[in-house]
Amino acid sequence: MALDGPSNYVAPNNLTESTDSLPIFDVQRVQLQFSIAADFVAAQVANNVLILALSTNRILRIDLDSPEDIDDIDLPKKSSEIGLIRRMFLDPSASHLIISTTLGENYYLHTQSRQPKALSRLKGVSIESIAWNPSLPTASTREILLGTTDGTIYETYIEPSTEFYRREEKYATAVYKVPDASPVIGICVEVPSRADQRRVIVATYGKLAHLLGRIGATKHGREGGGSIYADLFQRETPLVHEIPHPSGSAPSSLTVSSSPTSTTTTGGGYKTEESDAKEFAWLSSHGIYHGQLNSESPFDTAKTLPRSKFPASESARVGRKMIQDPITAMTLSQWHVLALVEGRIVAVNRLNEEVVYEQTVLEPRQNALGLLTDLTQNTYWLFTSQEIYEVVANDEDRDVWKVLLREQKFDEALHYARGPAQRDAVLIASGDFLAKQGRFSEAAKAWGKSSKGFEEVCLTMIDNKEYDSLRKYLISQLSTYKKSSVMQRLMVASWLVELFMSKLNSLDDNIATKAELTEGVTTGEIKDELGSVRAEFQEFVNKHKADLDKKTVYGIISSHGREAELLFFATVAGDFNYVLSYWIQREKWAEALNVLQRQSDPDVFYKYSSVLMTHAATGLIEILMRQTNLDTERLIPALLNYNKTASASVSLNNNQAVRYLNFIIVNHPNPSAAVHNTLISIHASSPSNSEAGLLTYLQSQPSSPPYDADFALRLCIQHKRVQSCIHIYSAMGQYLQAVELSLEHNDIELAAIVADRPAGNDKLRKKLWLLVAEKKIRQPGTGIKDAIEFLRRCELLHIEDMIPFFPDFVVIDDFKDEICTALEEYSRDIDVLRREMDNSANTARQIRNEIAGLDTRYAIVEPGEKCWICSLPLLSRQFFVFPCQHAFHSDCLGKEVLEGAGGKKKYIRDLQAHLSKEDLSSSRREEIVKELDGLVAESCILCGDHAIKKISKPFIAPSETDEWAL
């Protein structure tokens, strides 16, 4: 099949133009790709599947996705036995088809079957309408309702079966009877909010009944066990809409839309609430009655489209009198009622009941089988006895916003508006409407998002003294400005700050005077409003801080005396200098520290450290100890200033400057010398006489101290910190000065400790101990034995070293034992020296004997012995023999030594040249020969240094490779 437009419809030439230039609907003829010899008597469409019944009792099943595949199905019996096909009913999923004939025979056909099955339980029942199960099952129909021509409603459950003896329908039960026995021309079932409830709509020619209630449970705990609708029809009283004098000959039908299409409005048409209700439409002799299935009484809001709403054709006009044409078929689209009126498709907007489309489709006296909707695909179809038409919707909600706008349903109109122009029109109209009702706050939100004149809106708000609404409008307007509109954003934002401050002051005044602005407003409510406005101001500042000028805002807020808001803005703007200076000027040290602890900018700490150290030293040090990016040297002036004012009243243990410096020295890597010097300065200048803290620090430092030793020494000397001076002298290696200073202050014990420190320098140690000994011996009240016992701590001191320090009148008996001990030690030393002298004399005697024996030394050379270099007989010419028994020819040895002589090579060659001269005297020749022999035969070339130097020489020379090849 293919689509083709009707003969009197011309498609637009420009295929690229917008859909607004196309009609809302377009009727297109479907070109049939098959030929038939009979007329259509019934048609159904669902889920893109088309079912056609022919007058020959054949059924054609066509999948519109692949129209070339057509199922041609015959009823199981002849038409003379069962009658002709009267009606067909196809469920929305296109899984189940029920066929009713003129003789009351009913058949069921499943989508996976090609053989219709007779429904024996429904034999003789003339089905007029079916309400399919709302869950849309595919394996079975589950519980469905059947409306008949005699006004009876049956419930049945059909499940296809391959067993011959088993019926398709599990049961068929009559559950309701229309009181006047009118044919049930339409019936539908929907599931409302609860799963155990059902909504049933029953339509006859003159009545529309609505039932809503709970259904019964399945019997025996299984599906298909029995009726579930019987209790509903027995228990509930239907709500009925009835028309007077209905006509049984006029076409009548009931249709329900596929999905929600609109929203419910409340509160005068300005606020919307989403609804899940479907639309229903009932065609009767009076017109089309339509509404929403959204409450227990859907008829309360339903409306009737009278037949007069549908225009008559030109042929039906008689003079100026209008003849009402019959509506032969009807269905629902998303926003419109589609009706077939005397061969014309007419579309009426359900919202404003205006005709938006009219198109002649059928020829005169050509009848239609129906106007149907594919609920799953949202497509619309018109069937005649020979032709099929599709009613194509072209963006049918394009003008919905205009209709809703005229009905003052602004939120709904805004939802369907397209593009900035339409949205702007809706927003302006919404704002104007709300302002006329005095709802300026809501109008401000709408105007703020529209293009309505800024000055006009502001003047309107000011004239009506709606400053709260003006504030909301300005906030909305501020969000519409581009980032590049710097001045506009700055001015509006500054104005908003002024409005916020005025509002806050007004509320504070009301609370202070316990006044009530209007009747029924309490002080508690004003406090709540104050908190709300303050929160709104804070949110505004956080969001638009980039649009606010600091100086301007400071001036505005200060003029209103709003301290909390001033500090909040400065904090959000990151102006911590301002906040800190504000609290410090007011001497609110806790608040200042609270602000400071949230900062990480080092300059802030440097700037305010002096004043805060003076007034809140402990808290500041706690904060400083948590900072890792500070330069401690820049904090030293503040620490010294604090120490100057606090040293008289604060001990070193509680001194915060000392605490911080100790923390830096212990925890920070490589603090500068200035930090160490500052700590030494504070310790040295302390009024306390104790040097414990300073000594503890000095002793904890390494051997190469990080502080300036000269500076520290001067400070300690200036403030008479003797022990510290001695420690520094020692650290500098000035042990003599340290001992002298100790002795000067009569601290002999400390001097002795220092005298032991020059480890490895016995001469210096002895010198220092002599000073200590002299002081100790000459100290009044010191006994000779006590002095000697004290000086025994140094092993370098002897009694003879100390004798000069004793007084002349000292009796020798007092240290007779020490003298005796010294003499015994000297005697032992003399004995040791004597033995060493005897050993040396013996060694010298042995050496002389060995030298004398060298003249008589010899070696035995065997007759067949060979040279170790050339392997020729050794006795063939002059040779050398070494103590290791290696022997070499003189020339072979000389040549080998010459190759490895190194620096001596030139000297050997010079001696050989001198030796070749003929004018040499015999004595000179002997000297040269002796010297040359001494150089050549200095050591064995296989056992001495020459062999070690040749270690890298290969065993096989390159020229001997072939000889040694394997």
Question: What pLDDT, on the 0 to 100 scale, is given for residue 165?
Answer: 63
Confidence of residue 59 (pLDDT cuts 50, 70, 90): very high
Confidence of residue 265 (pLDDT cuts 50, 70, 90): very low
Question: What pLDDT, on the 0 to 100 scale, is given for residue 209?
Answer: 94
Counting residues of the chain whose pLDDT is more than 70, the rounded percentage is 84
Question: What pLDDT, on the 0 to 100 scale, is given for residue 4?
Answer: 45
SS3 readout for 802-822 = HHHHCCCCCCHHHHHHHHHHH
Residues 65 and 201 both lie in one domain: yes
- Across 46-50, 208-212, 316-320, 782-786, least confident range: 316-320
Residues 162 and 226 both lie in one domain: yes
Nearest to 294 by CA among 258, 326, 262, 331: 262
Question: What pLDDT, on the 0 to 100 scale, is given for residue 816?
Answer: 63
**Burial (CB count <10 Å: 0-12, 13-18, 19+), residue 915:** middle
Residue type, 469: S
Confidence of residue 761 (pLDDT cuts 50, 70, 90): low
| pLDDT tens figures, 298-311 | 888 899 988 888 87
> 3-state class of 158 per DSSP?
strand
Question: What pLDDT, on the 0 to 100 scale, is given for residue 577?
Answer: 81
Last residue of a domain, which of 346, 376, 398? 398
Using N-to-C axis directions, what is the helix angle for 905-915 and 922-936, rounded to 10°? 150
Residue whose structure tokens are 């299935």:
293
Confidence of residue 5 (pLDDT cuts 50, 70, 90): very low
Contact status, residue 681 vs residue 655, Cβ threshold 8 Å: no
Residue 394 lies in a domain: yes
Range of the domain at 807: 777-817
Residue 358 lies in a domain: yes
Q: Is residue 364 scored above 80 in pLDDT?
A: yes
Average confidence (pLDDT) over 332-342: 90
Last residue of a domain, which of 381, 398, 415? 398
Contact status, residue 98 vs residue 127, Cβ threshold 8 Å: yes
Element (H, E) at 15: none
Cα gap 376→297, rounded to integer Å:
27
Question: What pLDDT, on the 0 to 100 scale, is given for residue 734?
Answer: 74
Residues 837 and 798 both lie in one domain: no
Q: Is residue 16 scored above 80 in pLDDT?
A: no
| pLDDT tens figures, 682-741 | 888 888 878 888 888 887 888 778 888 888 888 888 888 877 787 777 777 777 777 777
> 3-state class of 541 per DSSP?
helix
Q: Is the dihedral of CA 568, 574, 580, 582 positive or negative?
A: negative
Residues 801 and 838 both lie in one domain: no
Q: 778: Cβ–Cβ under 8 A, 6 or more apart, which residues? A: 805
Residues 892 and 826 both lie in one domain: no
Residue 574 lies in a domain: no
Beta strands in 882-950 (DSSP E): 887-889
Residue 584 lies in a domain: no
Question: What pLDDT, on the 0 to 100 scale, is given for residue 736?
Answer: 79
Q: Is residue 71 scored above 60 in pLDDT?
A: yes
Contact status, residue 90 vs residue 152, Cβ threshold 8 Å: no
Question: What pLDDT, on the 0 to 100 scale, is given for residue 338?
Answer: 92
Question: What pLDDT, on the 0 to 100 scale, is given for residue 21?
Answer: 63
Average confidence (pLDDT) over 70-79: 89
Does 171 or 33 have the greater pLDDT score? 171
Contact status, residue 549 vs residue 494, Cβ threshold 8 Å: yes
Q: What is the DSSP letter of 916?
A: T
Question: What pLDDT, on the 0 to 100 scale, is given for residue 96?
Answer: 95
Q: 623 forms bridges with which residues in the sheet?
A: none
Contact status, residue 537 vs residue 500, Cβ threshold 8 Å: yes
Cα gap 181→177, rounded to integer Å:
7
Q: Provide the residue count of the chain.
A: 966
Residues 47 and 122 both lie in one domain: yes
Average confidence (pLDDT) over 337-357: 89
Does 120 or 694 have the greater pLDDT score? 120
Q: Is residue 8 scored above 60 in pLDDT?
A: no
Confidence of residue 780 (pLDDT cuts 50, 70, 90): low
Cα gap 289→86, rounded to integer Å:
27
690: region left, alpha or beta (phi > 0 left; psi from -120 to 50 alpha): beta
Residues 38 and 141 both lie in one domain: yes
Contact status, residue 24 vs residue 357, Cβ threshold 8 Å: yes
DSSP secondary structure string for all residues of 677-718: HHHHHHHHT-S-S--HHHHHHHHHS-SS-SS-HHHHHHHHHH
Q: What is the DSSP letter of 144?
A: E
Question: What pLDDT, on the 0 to 100 scale, is given for residue 20?
Answer: 58
Last residue of a domain, which of 835, 850, 865? 850
Question: What pLDDT, on the 0 to 100 scale, is given for residue 836?
Answer: 87
Residue 63 lies in a domain: yes
Average pLDDT, the chain: 80
Residue 192 lies in a domain: yes
| pLDDT tens figures, 645-672 | 777 667 778 888 888 888 888 888 888 8
> 3-state class of 949 per DSSP?
helix
Residues 823 and 945 both lie in one domain: no
Residue 93's domain is classified under what CATH number? 2.130.10.10
Cα gap 246→285, rounded to integer Å:
6
- Across 53-57, 90-94, 762-766, 864-868, least confident range: 762-766
For the beta sheet containing 142-148, the strands, ordered from the edge strand earlier in sequence to the opposite edge, are 127-131, 142-148, 152-158, 169-177
Cα gap 14→16, rounded to integer Å:
6
Confidence of residue 61 (pLDDT cuts 50, 70, 90): very high
Confidence of residue 101 (pLDDT cuts 50, 70, 90): very high
Question: What pLDDT, on the 0 to 100 scale, is given for residue 525?
Answer: 80
Q: Is residue 266 scored above 50 in pLDDT?
A: no
Contact status, residue 615 vs residue 593, Cβ threshold 8 Å: no
Beta strands in 878-962 (DSSP E): 879-881, 887-889
Element (H, E) at 494: helix 486-513
Q: 824: Cβ–Cβ under 8 A, 6 or more apart, which residues? A: none
Domain count, the chain: 4
DSSP secondary structure string for all residues of 770-786: HHHHHHHHTSTT--HHH
Q: 566: Cβ–Cβ under 8 A, 6 or more apart, which residues? A: 554, 557, 558, 582
Question: What pLDDT, on the 0 to 100 scale, is given for residue 475?
Answer: 82
Does 586 or 157 have the greater pLDDT score? 157
Average confidence (pLDDT) over 47-63: 91
Residues 900 and 812 both lie in one domain: no
| pLDDT tens figures, 866-906 | 998 898 988 888 888 888 888 988 888 888 888 776 667 78
Question: What pLDDT, on the 0 to 100 scale, is given for residue 689?
Answer: 79
Question: What pLDDT, on the 0 to 100 scale, is given for residue 239?
Answer: 92
- For the chain, the distance separating the N- and C-terminal CA atoms, rounded to the nearest angstrom, is 97
Residues 27 and 131 both lie in one domain: yes
Residue 514 lies in a domain: no
Residue type, 737: Q
Average confidence (pLDDT) over 276-290: 88
What pTM was computed for the model? 0.56
Residues 177 and 119 both lie in one domain: yes
Residue 791 lies in a domain: yes
Question: What pLDDT, on the 0 to 100 scale, is given for residue 288?
Answer: 92
Confidence of residue 435 (pLDDT cuts 50, 70, 90): confident
Residues 260 and 335 both lie in one domain: yes
